[in-house]
């Protein structure tokens, strides 16, 4: 749903309050928490908590739930941020690039940004050889790509 103004947004989802923020923080830590545990954690009744979570979901504040994977446990111990600069931003080059970002399993996230690079990719592979295959067989074969610079991820802090 597209909201036209802030008054329309408020009619869909009243202002997020302190308890809603506590619910959001608790769900960020553990999205599988039971409603009873969540209600106890945030200090509300079970029914009130359930209504608040549904309202946050219905309004789009909570867009969905996901699984957090341990890449190392899955044999994917190599991570990098790849800064990609495009040759041109013409639709004929740009559209296939964007589509390919969604289809490539090694790409966990892709951000369009300002600055020297047009896109920043979070790439996960088994090892350096897998990353080289990703570059040689995928990224550098894309006509839209002018250049790419890589930063290795040494450790994740958050």
Reported pTM? 0.76
What are the tens digits of pLDDT across the range 88-126? 887 887 889 999 999 999 999 999 999 999 999 999 999
pLDDT at 32: 96
What are the tens digits of pLDDT across the range 55-96? 999 999 999 999 888 889 999 999 999 999 999 887 887 889
Question: Which pairs with CB-CB distance under 8 Å and at least 24 residues apart come from 6-13?
Answer: 12/58, 12/59, 13/55, 13/56, 13/58, 13/59, 13/60, 13/61
pLDDT at 14: 58
């Amino acid at each position: 749903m597209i909201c036209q103004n802030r008054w329309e947004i408020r009619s869909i989802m009243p202002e997020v309050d302190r308890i809603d923020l506590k619910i959001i923080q608790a769900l960020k830590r553990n999205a599988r928490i039971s409603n009873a545990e969540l209600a106890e954690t945030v200090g509300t009744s079970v029914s009130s908590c359930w209504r608040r979570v549904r309202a946050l979901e219905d309004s789009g504040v909570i867009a969905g739930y996901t699984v957090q994977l341990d890449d190392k446990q899955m044999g994917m111990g190599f991570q990098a941020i790849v800064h990609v600069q495009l040759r041109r931003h013409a639709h004929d080059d740009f559209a296939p690039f964007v589509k390919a970002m969604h289809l490539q399993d090694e790409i966990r996230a892709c951000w369009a940004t300002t600055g020297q690079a047009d896109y920043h990719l979070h790439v996960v592979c088994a090892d350096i050889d897998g990353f080289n295959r990703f570059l040689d067989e995928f990224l550098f074969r894309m006509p839209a790509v002018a250049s790419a610079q890589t930063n290795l991820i040494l450790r994740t802090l958050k």
